[in-house]
Amino acid sequence: MTESWATFGADLHLDLSAGRGLRAGLTEALREAARSGRLAAGTRLPSSRSLAADLGIARNTVAEAYAELVAEGWLTARQGSGTRVAERARPRRPAAPVPVRRAARRGLTYSLLPGSPDLGGFPRSAWLAAARRALAGAPNEAFGYGLDGRGRPELREALTGYLARARGVYTDPERIVLCAGFAQGLTLLARVLRARRVREMAVEGYGLDIHRNLLTRAGLRTRPLGVDGDGARTQELTAGAGAVLLTPAHQFPTGAALTPARRAAAVDWARTTGGLILEDDYDGEFRYDRQPVGALQGLDPDRVVYLGTASKSLAPGLRMGWMVVPPGLLDEVMAAQGMGDRASSALDQLTLAEFITSGAYDRHVRGMRLRYRRRRDELVLAVGDRAGVSGIAAGLHAVLDLPAGTERSVLQSAAWQDLSLEGLSAFRHPEASLPPREALVVGYGTPPDSAWTPTLAALSAALP
């Protein structure tokens, strides 16, 4: 069968109409494709006969262009191997600029950076079994474009039951909107708030700059609330803010739980001013010393938007999140949602629905709860009296309070131990009026089991 450029598997989009001869134009086009990396080193080119036929030029023209590029070293020609792009043609690509602090620390051997579960704990076998069952039982329409922006009804039904019994959330499947993680849900809600002419939003004085930046880019000014051992100081909420973002079950990153009085203050503020509470329940399932406190949403489902994800309980790579939206807000959320704001794939949604309804999700969470509790206990034992562990016994991270003036030196010492760590100061809102505090935010959920012991040893060596 005659080889054809059309079926060869590589498209060069060669421009031979640049006002020069055919051979010179072809030679330059091939040379530039190799130089720029469009033709990667080792790529096999079609025969001169095939390329000539597809370009509508003489075979000798192609052969002469190939020969010139072989002589220059851009191509190689060997009997039985054909004509290929030479290794020396590989382009040098400058490394993308990244913040020095992040780049250096992310590349260290050990990591206690917060925000990630133990990825090695992902339940591969149980998830695969659920995926097979979900695929076998999936209706044909599940493989279409999906007309309901809220996501698959099977998962919304499963989440309704799970959130009610595990987190005390009041909802029904019609009010659940699936999204590809917390950040996407927050972006969508910020869009809704702007459409409501909200200009200012309250946030906790300690929190993730990623979330604050999302709100800022949406046109919302963030005003920080004070944070102490009782959580966010919700009594500081004013009518000037149209919404507030809270982590009531386990303040991130300080680890405090919002007290009943401050929960009530937040709800009273929302009812009085017409404001909205956005509840980030990022790790509410993981409480080790008592039954987890129920979601704030249960106090007033009409004023609280509940946001949850599978990022901590399963894995962030699933890109799976959900919002429980008050009835009066649902139409606005759906109107603000674009095609690019849809949730993860239908098959992943069906798999998670099966994973929940089969009981596998509960079994997995119980197993991981035991694993993380053991790690937290070992962390407390390892640091001893050199650092005070603050916050409730929950989640996948702990805060280690340090003597005044030592946070930076401990971070430097950790880097010498080949350990990535984050200081509490990295999470402080730039406008927050908070008392001086130096501490480490230790993500004990991050290391795999195989690296846990040496990681803990590196932390111990870094502490004063």
What average pLDDT does the structure give for the chain? Answer: 89
pLDDT in tens, 65-111: 888 888 878 888 887 778 888 886 444 444 444 333 333 345 688 99
**Domain residue spans of the chain:** 5-89, 100-119+362-462, 123-359
Banded model confidence at residue 20, pLDDT cuts 50, 70, 90: low
Mean pLDDT check: name the lowest of 2-16, 170-184, 206-220.
Answer: 2-16
pLDDT confidence of residue 178: 96
pLDDT in tens, 272-282: 999 999 999 99
Banded model confidence at residue 337, pLDDT cuts 50, 70, 90: confident
Domain 100-119+362-462 sits in which CATH superfamily?
Answer: Aspartate Aminotransferase, domain 1 (3.90.1150.10)
pLDDT confidence of residue 5: 41
3-state SS, 208-248, equals CHHHHHHHHHCCCEEEEECEECCEECHHHCCCCCCEEEECC
**φ, ψ for residue 349, nearest 5 deg:** -65, -45
Asked if residue 260 has a cis previous peptide bond (ω within 30° of 0), the answer is no
CA distances from 36 to 10, 276, 463 (A): 15, 52, 49
CB 133 within 8 A of CB 354: yes
pLDDT in tens, 140-179: 999 998 878 899 999 999 999 999 999 999 999 999 999 9
Q: Average pLDDT in the 53-75 region?
A: 85
Residue 35 is classified by DSSP as H
Exposed, middle or buried, 136 (CB in 10 Å: 0-12/13-18/19+)? exposed
Considering the four listed CATH numbers 3.90.1170.50, 3.30.365.10, 3.40.50.1970, 1.10.10.10, the one that applies to the domain covering 5-89 is 1.10.10.10
- Taking each helix axis from N to C end, the angle separating 124-137 and 360-383, rounded to the nearest 10 degrees, works out to 160
What pTM value is reported for the model? 0.80
Q: Identify the CATH number of the domain defined by range 123-359.
A: 3.40.640.10
Exposed, middle or buried, 425 (CB in 10 Å: 0-12/13-18/19+)? middle
CA distances from 193 to 188, 196, 304, 369 (A): 9, 5, 14, 36
pLDDT in tens, 443-463: 999 999 999 999 999 999 999
CB 83 within 8 A of CB 76: yes
d(CA 47, CA 67) in angstroms, rounded, equals: 12
pLDDT in tens, 301-318: 999 999 999 999 999 999
Residue 194 is classified by DSSP as H
CB 372 within 8 A of CB 285: no
Banded model confidence at residue 269, pLDDT cuts 50, 70, 90: very high
Other beta carbons less than 10 A from residue 195's beta carbon? 11
pLDDT confidence of residue 44: 84
d(CA 178, CA 193) in angstroms, rounded, equals: 19
Banded model confidence at residue 188, pLDDT cuts 50, 70, 90: very high
Other beta carbons less than 10 A from residue 461's beta carbon? 12
